[in-house]
């Protein structure tokens, strides 16, 4: 926890000094007055104000406790750890048989992560923390699966010369796909639809079409046809 | 399941003492009825029902573990 102790003639001055040192705004800190200033008599025995400033932080140990309690209630054995970087927090649950906490394509994991964020940020004004939740390295595995899927579907889109729309995904999952294909020579990606049914569409690039000599004009309707494709390769659960 | 819903709901609301979950046996499935202080309704439903949806997903996971079907209803 970031904190500092300051002394100055008045409490208010001490607070201002502290805010500068912490680089924080007034509403982001909590102030504890350690010593009230007293002016003394004729300048003798005068005491400065002494205060301590804390930067208010979301209570991470509370969140850890919450996850541990959920495990206990569900009769699951697991450990909850968290690591903190500058602006995000990562909770990791490790243990046995945690599949039910991950759910179909991470559905339960995402719900739990969402609730964790809501509870963690309850009553916090201004600064909000966002935390990521992972169980048994699921996220990394899912990222890998999505990258493979992206590559496969890009291949399909460019050889079959048509747009392919993927199943609906969460924003962070779509980001993985966009990033995996952003420098792809033959396809472009975009998202369409409204949350939570927003999905990625992979289309062959126009220039690639011209090169192959099978322009969109000669095959009307072909490039706008979309097929829904279920990512069967992501059946890790 | 009931315990889990109660625990999560209490963590979400401002008046945890007024959280009440009761289990009603239906024909095919069980129904968990969640009651909270009126001021806390938004806290358990959320924008576009996102919190309610997340609660349902998690409770469903717990129910699967017990081999049961369960529905969560938020009672006004």
B36-62 residue pLDDT tens:
999 999 999 999 899 999 999 999 999
Domain edges within chain A:
3-55, 60-136, 141-234
SS3 A5: strand
> What is residue A55's predicted lDDT score, i.e. its pLDDT?
77
> What is the pLDDT, as a whole number, of residue A69?
93
Question: Which CATH number describes the domain made up of A3-55?
Answer: 3.30.30
The answer, for A69 touching chain B at a CB cutoff of 8 Å, is yes
Segment B5-13 shows an average pLDDT of 94
Give domain A60-136's CATH architecture. Answer: 2-Layer Sandwich (3.30)
Report the alpha-carbon distance of residue A5 to residue A19 in Å, rounded: 11
The pTM of this model reads: 0.71
pLDDT at residue A218, as a whole number? 44
Are A113 and A142 a contacting pair, CB within 8 Å? no
Interface size between A and B, measured as CB pairs under 8 A: 48
Is it true that the peptide bond before A77 is cis, omega within 30 degrees of 0? no
The torsion of the CA quartet A113, A119, A125, A131, rounded to 10 degrees, works out to -20
Report CB contact under 8 Å: A118, B62. Answer: no
Chain A partners of B39 at a C-beta cutoff of 8 Å? none
The long-range contacts involving A23-28, CB below 8 angstroms and separated by at least 24 positions, are A24/A53, A24/A55, A25/A126, A27/A125, A27/A126, A28/A55, A28/A56, A28/A126, A28/A127
| Dihedral (CA of A82, A85, A86, A90) sign | negative
* Out of A40-49, B21-30, B58-67, least confident range: A40-49
Query: Is there a contact between B54 and A107 if contact means CB atoms under 8 Å apart?
Result: no
A49 three-class SS: strand
| ipTM confidence score | 0.93
Do residue A103 and residue B61 have CB atoms under 8 angstroms apart? yes
pLDDT per residue rounded down to tens, chain A (237 residues): 578 888 888 888 998 988 888 877 777 788 888 888 887 776 677 888 899 888 776 677 888 899 999 999 999 999 999 888 777 789 999 998 899 999 988 999 999 999 999 998 886 665 677 888 999 999 999 999 999 999 999 999 999 999 999 999 888 899 999 999 999 999 999 999 988 789 999 999 876 555 444 444 444 444 444 455 544 444 334
Other Cβ atoms less than 10 A from the Cβ of A2: the count is 14
pLDDT at B66 over 70: yes
The CATH code belonging to domain A141-234 is 3.30.1370.50
Measured between CB atoms, which of A69, A101, A114 is closest to B61?
A: A101
């Amino acid at each position: 926890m970031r904190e500092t102790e300051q002394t100055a003639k008045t409490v208010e001055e001490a607070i201002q000094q502290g805010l500068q040192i912490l680089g924080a705004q007034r509403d982001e800190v909590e102030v504890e007055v350690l010593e009230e200033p007293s002016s003394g008599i004729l300048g003798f025995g005068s005491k400065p104000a002494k205060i301590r400033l804390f930067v208010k932080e979301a209570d991470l140990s509370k969140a850890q406790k919450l996850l541990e309690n959920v495990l206990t209630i569900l009769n699951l054995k697991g450990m909850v750890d968290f690591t903190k970087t500058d602006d995000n927090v990562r909770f990791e649950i490790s243990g046995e048989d945690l599949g039910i906490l991950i759910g179909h394509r991470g559905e339960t994991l995402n719900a739990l992560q969402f609730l964790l964020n809501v509870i963690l940020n309850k009553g916090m004004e201004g600064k909000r923390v966002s935390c990521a939740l992972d169980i048994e390295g699921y996220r990394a595995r899912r990222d890998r699966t999505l990258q493979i899927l992206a590559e496969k579907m890009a291949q399909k889109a460019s050889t079959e010369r048509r747009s392919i729309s993927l199943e609906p995904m969460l924003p962070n999952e779509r980001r993985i796909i966009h990033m995996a294909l952003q420098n792809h020579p033959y396809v472009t990606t975009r998202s369409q639809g409204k949350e939570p049914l927003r999905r990625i569409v992979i289309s062959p690039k126009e220039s690639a079409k011209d090169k192959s000599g099978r322009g969109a004009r000669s095959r009307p309707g072909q490039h706008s046809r979309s097929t829904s494709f279920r990512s069967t390769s992501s059946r890790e659960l | 399941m009931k315990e889990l819903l109660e625990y999560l709901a209490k963590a979400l609301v401002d008046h945890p003492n007024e959280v009440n979950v009761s289990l009603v046996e239906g024909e095919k499935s069980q129904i968990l009825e969640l009651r909270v202080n009126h001021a806390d309704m938004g806290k358990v439903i959320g924008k576009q029902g996102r919190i309610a949806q997340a609660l349902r997903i998690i409770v469903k996971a717990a129910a699967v573990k017990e081999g049961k079907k369960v529905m969560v209803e938020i009672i006004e």
